Every structure is written in structure tokens, then in C-alpha cells.
Amino acid sequence: MIISRQKFGSPMTAFSKASLQALATMKNMGGRILSRRRRGMNMIEVSLVLGLIGIALAGIFTIYTIVENRSLENRTKILVQNLVAGTKSLFVGSTNYASIGTTTALNQFLIDSKKVPINYVSSATDITSPFNTAITVVPTTATVEGVAAGRAFQITITDAPTHICNALFTEQMTSQTVLAVKAGSTNTLSPKRSGNRALNAANIANRCNDADPITIVMTFQ
């Protein structure tokens, strides 16, 4: 059989065209496969980057929380020290704190005499803690550790976080002026006592973990 070149072209030309088409098809398929692989790798890389960012953010948040807690603890300790020193200075030569009168009078007395930093004063009679809860300074109304009513004063901090409670109690373990401290409704802890009610690290942890937040009462002479 004779094949007409004009009608069908040469057999070699037809074969070449078929080969080129096959190669083009393979190239397109290969490109799609490579493209899919590249997309897959990109997704894996993005996932890894996001995971690393998440870990870094978690670490930063943890460090920030630790630093913020330490700052609150230090500011609360300093404020308590100022309140104790201020109250004592107002009653030099007298330990009859009850003579001041009402329960808000000591707060007002401390505020009026500039014994409280202005950033912790919320009104004429209200003192706030560094974590924005109420602080009151009042004369004792009952005997505490053998000291008669009115001869000592109490600083009460409401809704204190557990870490603040631990920090304040630990601070008072070596204090020479504190008579007793109390967390929540539990028994008073005193550096003058021995046994289970003594002001020591184990008992501090037990008392401070009773509730979160917790009310702290410190009695000073």
C-alpha cells in the first residue's frame, strides 16, 4: 500500500508529533506532581513555623506571669511596711490605737498624713492593694497573743492571690513586730508559738492554699 505524503505526511513526522505530544503530557503530569509536592512541603513548613511561634509565645507568657507576680509581691510587701511604719509613727509615745475612734479612722489618718502612696488611695478613707482589693488598718478589738484590745492594730488585705499570701507570710516569719497573721477563717499563726500553729513554711503553705483568693489579717504591736 502506498501512503500519500500530501494527505498523511511522512510516517516519521507522524511519529515525531505523537512523541512530542506524549512528552508534553508527561511534562505536564510531572509538573502537577511536583507542584503538589511543593504545596505539601510548604504546608509542613508553615505548620512547623506556627508550632515554634506558639511555643515561643507560651514561654514569653510564662516569663511575663512570673515577673508580674514578683512585682506584685514586692509592691505589696513595701506597702505593708509603709502602713506599719506610718501607723507606729502616728502613735509615738502611745500604743492606744483604739483612741483614734472608728474603723475607717486609721485609714483616713494614714491617708491624710501622706503615709500612703497616692496610687494606692481610692478615696478619703479607702486604701487599695497593688492588685486592686481593699486594705483596712484598724485597732484590735480583742486580746491577741496576750496584748490587750486597742494596744495593737491589724492590717487586713481582702482577696489576696495565693502567691501574695505566701510572700507576705514568709516576710513576717522574721518580723520583730508582728504578733500574728491569719489567712481566711483558719486559726491564727504566730511567730511566738510552737507546734502546729507556729508561723513556719509548712503551715504558711497550708493556710494560704485554703482558698484563692484569700483574706489576710496581720496584727502588729
For 150-162, what is each residue's pLDDT tens digit? 888 889 998 888 8
Domains of the chain and any CATH numbers: 45-220 (3.30.1690.10)
Question: Contact, 154 vs 103, CB < 8 A?
Answer: no
Residues linked to residue 97 through DSSP beta bridges, in sequence order? none
The percentage of the chain sitting over the pLDDT mark of 90, rounded to a whole number, equals 8
Length, in residues, of the chain: 221
Cα 78 from Cα 101, distance rounded (Å): 26
- pLDDT higher at 203 or 131: 131
Most confident listed range (38-42, 91-95, 135-139): 135-139
| Confidence band for 35, pLDDT divided at 50, 70 and 90 | low
Residue 185's Cβ-side half-sphere holds a number of Cα atoms within 13 Å equal to: 0
Q: Is 110 helix (H, G, I), strand (E, B) or coil?
A: helix
**Position 211 pLDDT exceeds 60:** yes
Rounded (5°) CA angle 193-194-200:
90
How does the average pLDDT of the chain come out, rounded?
Answer: 76
Give residue 210's pLDDT.
Answer: 74
Give residue 197's pLDDT.
Answer: 55
Cis, bond preceding 161 (omega within 30 deg of 0): no
- The single residue listed with the C-alpha cell 512547623 is 48
Give residue 120's pLDDT.
Answer: 92
Give residue 26's pLDDT.
Answer: 55
pLDDT digits (tens, 9 = 90+) for 97-118: 877 656 667 888 888 888 888 9
Q: Any idea of the CA torsion for 108, 105, 140, 162, to the nearest 10 degrees?
A: -40
Question: Contact, 181 vs 217, CB < 8 A?
Answer: yes
Amino acid type, 93: G
pTM of the model: 0.70
pLDDT digits (tens, 9 = 90+) for 178-191: 777 887 766 667 76
